[in-house]
Amino acid sequence: MNKTAAQIFEECQDSNFALVTLQGKKDLVLQKIASFDKGTRGDLVFAPNKKALQQSIENGASGIVFPANLAEMAATVAATTALFASKNIGISHALMKQKYGDHDHRRTGWGRIHPSAVIHESVQIPEDVIIGPHVVIEQGVTIGKACIVMANVVIEHDAVIGERVKIHPGSIIGWECVIGEDCMILSNAVIGGEGFGYSQDQYFNHHRIPQTGNVVIGKKVTIGANNTIDRGTYGPTTIGDGSIFDNMCHVAHNVSIGSNCIILSGFLCAGSSTLGNRVVASGGAMIKDHVNICDDVYLMHRAGVIKDITQPGMYAGSPVLPMKNYVMSNAIYGKLNELRQSVRKMSNGHANSTRIEE
């Protein structure tokens, strides 16, 4: 990095960075970004709360980005430290680390296009695209500017890759699939594999139904490592802009997932289901086929969705219940043995009373 605090503040004046003010020693040179609990002299750190800010001060970090409401506490070290106040510390952390501390995927050690790559003559590779070893790019593929295609990636015929897409090693982009701008596809993801479509005859032999749709992924989407997103039977399987997938998730054919969703590890979604915008699925969530989930739904505690969810809110358990009902059911479940003993005593007491009356 090797920039003064004043230079960094000037470069991050865009409101997207959420910085409000720069106080203290503005001519300090900041060399790198570090964690708030390890950062020392020359480091820029991000302190999300009062405890982290205190630790950053004690460690002697040269630059500290902190929530604006802690300005009074930060002022105690203003003479020796560069202090960046932020109205959203999480956003400042994300965007400033992207700008100054991200890994440089263009640092490969070989030329722009590795000689082992196999690229069909019909494919135009923009001058700022990086192609790694043993990449295979088939006929009719379109690749946008500033893409990075890493080792052993396969892009099948007529796929469309938007600008500034990073495709990590071993991933496969299926034929005619579309990846939007600024996406990141992590290692060994399979986008546009054959959807699971079969019919059975009277002897229960399986007959494949060709899956001739595709997958369409919007802009600024992250697909985690070892994800599989199957192509549609006729139309597309779709992922909306800004959605982020953790590792090891599966999306079946004809599924539609909305914008800005968060999908965590172990997510399994059966075919022809629809998830709205801003759906959050925690680890191990499972969605039955042909289910519709509205916007702003949170699926918690290994949720199992077997019917439509039409109201925003938190749902948990399998099959899912609204969170309030789920918590109540768990509380009752924990007392079942106690209730059983109480019922047994009541039953025994009733039997004794009956014998006395007789």
> Which residues carry out catalysis?
253
Query: What is the rounded distance in angstroms from the CA atom of residue 193 to the CA atom of residue 207?
Result: 18
Provide the 8-state DSSP code for 16: G
Query: What is the rounded distance in angstroms from the CA atom of residue 215 to the CA atom of residue 256?
Result: 10
Token look-up 């990095």 returns 1
Contact present, 161 and 180 (Cβ < 8 Å): no
**Other beta carbons less than 10 A from residue 202's beta carbon:** 5
Query: What is the rounded distance in angstroms from the CA atom of residue 255 to the CA atom of residue 228?
Result: 12
**Which structure tokens are listed for 13?**
């004046």
**Other beta carbons less than 10 A from residue 165's beta carbon:** 25
Alpha helices in the chain (DSSP H): 5-11, 50-59, 71-74, 89-100, 323-334, 336-357
Of 16, 35, 48, 31, the C-alpha closest to 82 is 31
Torsion 27-32-34-39 (CA) sign: negative
String of DSSP letters for 258-269: -TT-EE-TT-EE
How many residues appear in the chain? 358
Query: What is the rounded distance in angstroms from the CA atom of residue 62 to the CA atom of residue 39?
Result: 8
Query: What is the rounded distance in angstroms from the CA atom of residue 353 to the CA atom of residue 110?
Result: 91
**Distance of alpha carbon 51 from its chain centroid, rounded?**
28
Regarding beta strands 198-200 and 206-208, do their DSSP bridges make them parallel or antiparallel, or are they unpaired? antiparallel
Amino acid at 96: M
Regarding beta strands 313-316 and 321-322, do their DSSP bridges make them parallel or antiparallel, or are they unpaired? antiparallel
